[in-house]
A and B are shown apart, each in its own frame.
Chain A
Amino acid sequence: MTASSTLRAVLKQPSGVVGVALVVAHVTMALVAPMIVPHNPTLQSAGAILQAPSWTHPFGTDRLGRDLLSRALLGGREAMLIATLSTVAAMLWGAMLGLFVALQGGRTDAYVMRIVDAMVSIPWVLMVMIFVAALGVGARALIPVLSFSYGLSVVYIARAAALDFVARDFVLAAQARGERRVTILWREILPNVRDTLAVQGAMQWSWILLGISSLSFLGLGVAPPAPDWGLMIADGRGIMQAAPWTVLWPMAMLSSLIVGVNLAADAIAKALGVDRTFGVAAP
């Protein structure tokens, strides 16, 4: 299926339209936000602390008198960047290992999957906390951690997807020809699992974004004063009773992006005929 026909099939579904619209809106916003934000997102104002939404500050202000509209518009950039890098890394190592063990089969497969099983059984938050304690806080430092822990589920998906094909005759035919393993992976299997992995990549991206936000929320992610939705929610949570606007905007932004990506991924999966039933969020 070509890209344009896939897009057409995606846009035929109402959820696809909503999803793609949300994603496009968010990406556009992330790109142009620095040029259009009305205020400096880190400008503190002792005279404008915790103001409710008004004409000057349509989204209100936070405890340091910073403009929440500007912060909300910019609040996804860092997380999105990190999510993108982590996803690429997670997909790379996860898919490679998954495809490799699927093709290798036998003992290698059994041993590797047993270890992956064990890793997966440790909650990712716990794993990340252990890593963060080891590597230090800082959003960029999270990239290896996130790509490792999220890559684990990619191993599963890639392996399962590849297993559908390793027993097919065209792989057998390639083996009979005497093709090298790498060639078989690259030429025979990868093109067939590409769609599955692409959809998976999109979902991983949203989950990693969610993970980063959760970590920022716990104080282990993006460093202040950079505007970040997770940080903003954590910051406003204690006062959301008195100043609900401090949490509602970042919540709306974060949720709409993640829901949008998932709606789009879902529609893409449907359009490509990829089964994404067992796409469990956390690895």
Chain B
Amino acid sequence: MRLLSVAGLTIARAAGPVGRPVVVDAGVVLGPAQTLGIAGESGCGKSTLLLALMGIVKPGLRVAAGQVWLDGTDILSAPAEDQRRLRGPVVALVPQSAALSLTPTMRIGAQLAEALAVHGRLAPAARPARVQDLLARVRLPDPARIGHRYPHELSGGQMQRVAIAMALACKPRLLLLDEPTSGLDASTQSGILDLLDTLRRETGMAMVCVSHDIGVLARLTARIAVMYAGRIVEDRPVGAFLRHPAHPYARALLASVPRIAALVLPLSIPGRPPAPGSVEQGCAFVPRCVRSGADCVTVPAFRDVASGGRVACHAPDEGPLILPAARTGATGAVRGDGVLIVRDLMVRYGKAGPLARLVGRPAPPAVVDGVSFTLAKGEILGLVGESGSGKSTILRAVAGLWPRSAGVVTLAGSGELAAQTVQRDRRALQRVQIVFQNPDASLNPRQSVREILAQPLRLYFNATPAEVERQGRDLLADVRLDPSYLERRPGQLSGGERQRVALARAFAARPDVILCDEVTSALDVSVQASVLSLIRALCRTRGTACLFVAHDLAVVAALCDRVAVLHMGRIAEEGPATLICTAPRHAYTRSLIEIAQRNAAFGEYPEPLPS
């Protein structure tokens, strides 16, 4: 008996140029209590596919072909009332962003009760008890009180748990999860994954989970499907997939995931996915593929793989996944004179106003409390910690974008740095550059790449247009972008390309110190790998020191010479990357390592779970 059966599902844009559909010819079969993970990078169509499983197609899209049979009903063509009856008791979804998916004006309890009420489950009198029960099941503390709260009064993790409780309300037989942990802290992530795993075991429901993070899927599901450019290219049992990925894309994808145990830069995938709306001509991965041949001009059909599952490739590689060799010892550490010295840095958010001082209200707690470190010339120092640990604040305080409460920041050759950029001289400003997390926000959408690069050149070196042109081309070449990109605007670039431009802009100032604030966390994993190697290369060739802030220890460990672990505003531990990762001394460091290992544990994946 099939619970879910998708056949030939194609979802296209409702308007605009005819091109490659968002989801092409997707086929999925799932029995009761079975699990499937769908992996892929942003824009591959995985979320669209997931929503279609509930019979929902977002505005602007339309079902061009195919059916989604859910418990014997084609939910896509069923009348609205039948669709509604299926949602809840048969299929339920945990949305990507719980914070946006809870109705702001309704109490948590009411929203849960509503889910029960609309399907006529339970007499109204029995609902409050069931609501509390649900909240307890998702391990929320004090369910009675949580039920009376509004969504905005909960933390992100709590909201995610509420969303799960809501999905579970009508005891669905199929649970859909859309990036269930993205946007959450590593430890919170881990808790949610544990919970989902437990719930699945307890209820025996089937599960389809979509994520860009293969580690998440490996923990939750027994099968993994990989999507690329709207198509499912590989559909394998998880163990076989992780050890012997067959599709060249899947192999490259797995190789680009940074691993805590390896301590080397992961491999990146050259090129970029086909633009949305481009016309499909044969295998979509060809331009980036290491093994392309003559028959790749046709769309490959699925073929079975010996170790289980199937793959859509004309020339699949069934050999074991080869990863870069692990780094050992404290190699690569460059120790030289300190170029940036931070002493006893303290930052508080907000300032006690006169009224607060009058009534004796205590000053707000310090976000950064007594942090000291030295960045050597040409060294890459990683600053790692969870959100709220104060790592970005340190970066901004050093850059002069956030007032510090105490402490001294010294830049060798420029002396002590003033607290605010406006008080710093041009030379000091030029020597310290910052790169932000999100290149969408840090590049002015109205400026061309040329204008973006021209700004530091003009500001610090009074460059003429001709010099801007020449140096702009050089900088683009340095970040591996074509000179034609000078004319483009950020909107015409991919996320990775934008971050390269942001890096180019920072290096245009020929800085001695570059501050990187979570520069890869908004990027897809394959793109992240290339940006990391770019940063390493730029710093090494130019002798620029880098302060690299990230929440992912695996990323930091892969890139940095030295690592400082930040915990609650203080440095818990500091040392060479290899040492920190192999022989942590602080308990907090150990927990970070554990989480990183668990979340990306597919290197040593055990035998598949019985399904």
In contact, A177 and B509 (Cβ under 8 angstroms):
yes
Contact segment of A74-82, A164-172, A256-264: A164-172
Contact A194 B441, CB 8 Å, known A169-B436, A176-B434: no
Interface residues as binary, A165-207 with B (CB distance below 8 Å gives 1, 0 otherwise): 0001110111111110000000110011010000000000000
Interface centre among A174, A176, A192, A194, by most chain B C-beta atoms within 10 angstroms, is A176
List, in ascending order, chain B residues with CB within 8 A of A168's CB: 441-442
Alpha-carbon distance A173/B433, docked complex (angstroms)? 9
In contact, A175 and B442 (Cβ under 8 angstroms):
no
Q: Return B446 CB to nearest CB of chain A, in Å.
A: 3
Give the number of residue pairs across the A-B interface with Cβ within 8 Å: 56
List, in ascending order, chain B residues with CB within 8 A of A179's CB: 455, 459
**For residues 410 through 437 of chain B, which have their beta carbon under 8 Å from a beta carbon of chain A?**
421-422, 424, 426, 429-430, 433-434, 436-437
Alpha-carbon distance A136/B467, docked complex (angstroms)? 56
In contact, B426 and A173 (Cβ under 8 angstroms):
no
List, in ascending order, chain A residues with CB within 8 A of B434's CB: 173, 176
Alpha-carbon distance A177/B447, docked complex (angstroms)? 17
Interface centre among B401, B443, B446, B455, by most chain A C-beta atoms within 10 angstroms, is B446
In contact, B400 and A169 (Cβ under 8 angstroms):
no
Selected contact of A178 from candidates B429, B437, B441, B447, CB within 8 Å: B429
List, in ascending order, chain A residues with CB within 8 A of B447's CB: 187, 191
Alpha-carbon distance A179/B424, docked complex (angstroms)? 11
Question: Is B170 located at the chain interface by the 8 A CB criterion?
Answer: no
Q: Which residue on chain B has the smallest CB distance to residue A179? A: B459
Q: Which residue on chain A has the smallest CB distance to residue B451? A: A187
Alpha-carbon distance A191/B429, docked complex (angstroms)? 25
Q: Which residue on chain A has the smallest CB distance to residue B423? A: A178
Alpha-carbon distance A205/B400, docked complex (angstroms)? 42
Q: Which residue on chain A has the smallest CB distance to residue B517? A: A169
Interface centre among A168, A188, A191, by most chain B C-beta atoms within 10 angstroms, is A168
Q: Return A2 CB to nearest CB of chain B, in Å.
A: 12
In contact, B424 and A178 (Cβ under 8 angstroms):
yes
List, in ascending order, chain A residues with CB within 8 A of B429's CB: 176-178
In contact, B442 and A170 (Cβ under 8 angstroms):
yes
Alpha-carbon distance A143/B363, docked complex (angstroms)? 51
**For residues 61 through 114 of chain B, which have their beta carbon under 8 Å from a beta carbon of chain A?**
none
- B-contacting residues of A (Cβ < 8 Å)? 168-170, 172-179, 187-188, 191-192, 194
Q: Return B294 CB to nearest CB of chain A, in Å.
A: 40
Question: Is B405 located at the chain interface by the 8 A CB criterion?
Answer: no
Q: Which residue on chain B has the smallest CB distance to residue A192? A: B446
List, in ascending order, chain A residues with CB within 8 A of B433's CB: 176-177
Alpha-carbon distance A179/B437, docked complex (angstroms)? 20
In contact, A176 and B401 (Cβ under 8 angstroms):
yes
Question: Is B546 located at the chain interface by the 8 A CB criterion?
Answer: no
Selected contact of A175 from candidates B401, B430, B438, CB within 8 Å: B401
Alpha-carbon distance A169/B436, docked complex (angstroms)? 7
Selected contact of B442 from candidates A169, A187, A191, CB within 8 Å: A169
In contact, A192 and B444 (Cβ under 8 angstroms):
yes
Q: Return B337 CB to nearest CB of chain A, in Å.
A: 24
Decide if the interface of chain A is mainly helix, strand, loop or mixed.
helix
Q: Return B444 CB to nearest CB of chain A, in Å.
A: 4
List, in ascending order, chain A residues with CB within 8 A of B438's CB: 169
* New contact pairs (9) apart from A179-B455, A187-B455, CB-CB < 8 Å: A170-B443, A176-B401, A177-B429, A177-B433, A178-B421, A178-B422, A178-B426, A178-B429, A188-B444
Alpha-carbon distance A187/B445, docked complex (angstroms)? 11
List, in ascending order, chain B residues with CB within 8 A of A173's CB: 434, 436, 442, 505
28 contacts between A and B (CB under 8 A): A169-B436, A169-B441, A169-B442, A170-B443, A172-B436, A172-B442, A173-B434, A173-B436, A173-B442, A173-B505, A174-B455, A176-B400, A176-B401, A176-B429, A177-B421, A177-B433, A177-B455, A177-B456, A178-B426, A178-B430, A178-B459, A179-B455, A179-B459, A187-B444, A187-B451, A191-B444, A191-B447, A194-B446
Alpha-carbon distance A187/B446, docked complex (angstroms)? 9
List, in ascending order, chain A residues with CB within 8 A of B505's CB: 173
List, in ascending order, chain A residues with CB within 8 A of B446's CB: 191-192, 194
Interface residues as binary, B372-404 with A (CB distance below 8 Å gives 1, 0 otherwise): 000000000000000000000000000111000
Q: Which residue on chain B has the smallest CB distance to residue A165? A: B444
Q: Return B445 CB to nearest CB of chain A, in Å.
A: 7
List, in ascending order, chain B residues with CB within 8 A of A170's CB: 441-444
Alpha-carbon distance A194/B401, docked complex (angstroms)? 26
List, in ascending order, chain B residues with CB within 8 A of A191's CB: 444, 446-447
Q: Return B462 CB to nearest CB of chain A, in Å.
A: 14
Q: Which residue on chain A has the smallest CB distance to residue B442? A: A169
Q: Return B150 CB to nearest CB of chain A, in Å.
A: 25
In the complex, the 10 A-B pairs of residues with the closest C-beta atoms, listed nearest first: A191-B446, A178-B429, A169-B442, A169-B441, A169-B436, A170-B444, A176-B434, A176-B399, A168-B441, A178-B421
Alpha-carbon distance A13/B60, docked complex (angstroms)? 18
Q: Which residue on chain A has the smallest CB distance to residue B505? A: A173
In contact, B455 and A172 (Cβ under 8 angstroms):
no
Alpha-carbon distance A170/B438, docked complex (angstroms)? 10
Q: Which residue on chain B has the smallest CB distance to residue A174? A: B455
Q: Return B349 CB to nearest CB of chain A, in Å.
A: 15
In contact, A177 and B400 (Cβ under 8 angstroms):
no
Q: Which residue on chain A has the smallest CB distance to residue B439? A: A169
Alpha-carbon distance A264/B542, docked complex (angstroms)? 53
Q: Return A266 CB to nearest CB of chain B, in Å.
A: 21
Q: Which residue on chain B has the smallest CB distance to residue A178? A: B429
Interface centre among A168, A178, A187, A188, by most chain B C-beta atoms within 10 angstroms, is A178
List, in ascending order, chain A residues with CB within 8 A of B443's CB: 170
List, in ascending order, chain B residues with CB within 8 A of A178's CB: 421-422, 424, 426, 429-430, 459
Q: Return A219 CB to nearest CB of chain B, in Å.
A: 46
Alpha-carbon distance A173/B499, docked complex (angstroms)? 13
Alpha-carbon distance A86/B445, docked complex (angstroms)? 31
Q: Return B417 CB to nearest CB of chain A, in Å.
A: 12
Q: Return B329 CB to nearest CB of chain A, in Å.
A: 36
List, in ascending order, chain B residues with CB within 8 A of A174's CB: 455
List, in ascending order, chain B residues with CB within 8 A of A176's CB: 399-401, 421, 429, 433-434
Interface residues as binary, B440-478 with A (CB distance below 8 Å gives 1, 0 otherwise): 011111110001000110010000000000000000000
Alpha-carbon distance A178/B432, docked complex (angstroms)? 11
Alpha-carbon distance A170/B443, docked complex (angstroms)? 5
Alpha-carbon distance A191/B433, docked complex (angstroms)? 24
Q: Which residue on chain B has the smallest CB distance to residue A191? A: B446
List, in ascending order, chain B residues with CB within 8 A of A172's CB: 401, 436, 442
